């Protein structure tokens, strides 16, 4: 486990989130240190997406605290969180379908005014995602699901995130495309961006992540290194489709 004396980049303390009277997240604690790739796994409806949306500022919280880079950000609006370095790639990608690929990417940099640095960041994204570069003039809504996911990740990178929240990046994509997307995720992690990954494919997520949290019915029930969770019989039975 993490023995580093530095304080976490992200810390959720007793976080509670409710939807129309139903408590979706029931007082969870989670920590993420700078430079880590951590995954959050669990069944559909466990509260994973809700948690990411609350960290990104898209959903209000009902109780507890969200600390980021030493500040309590419970009521900081989403656009200000983006300025501070928190970028969310939502489930379903959330790209602007009527804009071109290039316009989508540039939207990621709308909080920035360092024009030269934006151009060099665009070049970096093109190197990382050559398929995206080939599609720059194309209307984003006409891309395949995998290409749209790459655009969504590229757009998030243009905001120069310190913390990247990735919600189900492999959902509905062909295995080869998933492989490519996870290669990109690994590259971004190696560049020092801290990543919190929600992923239905628990096997894949735990192979990539340094640590993982298992979420069930709005609570965190298990945490450990990716390796330890992969080997855990309960995890294997519940999420990796193996008999206990």
**Helix/strand/coil (H/E/C) assignment for every residue in 173-236:** CCHHHHHHHHHHHHHHHHCCCEEEEECCCHHHHHHHCCEEEEEECCEEEEEEEHHHHHHCHHHH
Nearest to 187 by CA among 2, 37, 68, 63: 37
- Determine the Cα–Cα distance for residues 41 and 57; give it in Å rounded to an integer: 21
Give the pLDDT of residue 111: 87
pLDDT (tens digit, 9 = 90+) per residue, 61-87? Answer: 999 999 999 999 999 999 999 999 999
Give the pLDDT of residue 5: 62
Q: pTM higher than 0.75 for the full model?
A: yes
Give the pLDDT of residue 91: 87
Burial of 235 (0-12, 13-18, 19+ CB in 10 A): buried
pLDDT (tens digit, 9 = 90+) per residue, 171-221? Answer: 999 999 999 999 999 999 999 999 999 998 899 999 999 999 999 999 999
Domain ranges of the chain: 10-239
Phi-psi region of 121 (alpha: psi -120 to 50; beta: other; left: phi over 0): alpha
- Determine the Cα–Cα distance for residues 199 and 46; give it in Å rounded to an integer: 12
Give the pLDDT of residue 242: 61
Determine the 3-state secondary structure of 33 from DSSP. Answer: coil
Q: Does domain 10-239 have CATH number 3.40.50.150?
A: no
Residue 94 has pLDDT above 60, yes or no: yes
Of the two residues 11 and 6, the one the predictor is more confident about is 11
- Determine the Cα–Cα distance for residues 169 and 93; give it in Å rounded to an integer: 8
Give the pLDDT of residue 244: 45
What six digits make up the tokens of 175? 């295995």
Q: Please list, in sequence order, all residues whose beta carbon lies within 8 angstroms of the beta carbon of residue 194, skipping any fewer than 6 positions away.
A: 9, 10, 32, 33, 34, 35, 36, 37, 162, 163, 164
């Amino acid at each position: 486990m993490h023995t580093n004396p530095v304080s976490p980049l992200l810390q959720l303390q007793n976080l509670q989130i409710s939807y129309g009277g139903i408590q979706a997240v029931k007082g969870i604690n989670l920590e993420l240190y700078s430079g880590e790739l951590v995954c959050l796994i669990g069944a559909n409806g466990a509260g994973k997406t809700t948690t990411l949306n609350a960290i990104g500022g898209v959903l209000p919280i009902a109780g507890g605290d969200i600390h980021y880079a030493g500040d309590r950000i419970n009521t900081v609006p989403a656009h200000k969180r983006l300025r501070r370095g928190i970028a969310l790639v939502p489930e379903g990608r959330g790209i602007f379908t009527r804009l071109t690929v290039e316009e989508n990417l540039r939207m990621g940099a709308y909080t920035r005014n360092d024009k030269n640095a934006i151009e060099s960041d665009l070049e970096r994204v093109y190197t990382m995602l050559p398929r995206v570069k080939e599609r720059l003039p194309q209307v984003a809504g006409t891309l395949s699901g995998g290409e749209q996911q790459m655009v969504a990740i590229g757009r998030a990178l243009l905001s120069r995130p310190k913390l990247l929240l990735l919600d189900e990046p492999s959902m509905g994509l062909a295995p080869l495309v998933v492989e490519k997307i996870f290669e990109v995720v690994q590259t971004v992690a190696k560049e020092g961006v801290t990543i919190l990954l929600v992923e239905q494919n628990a096997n894949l997520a735990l192979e990539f992540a340094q640590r993982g949290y298992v979420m069930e019915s709005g609570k965190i029930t298990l945490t450990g290194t990716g390796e330890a969770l992969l080997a855990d019989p309960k995890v294997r039975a519940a999420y990796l489709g193996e008999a206990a």
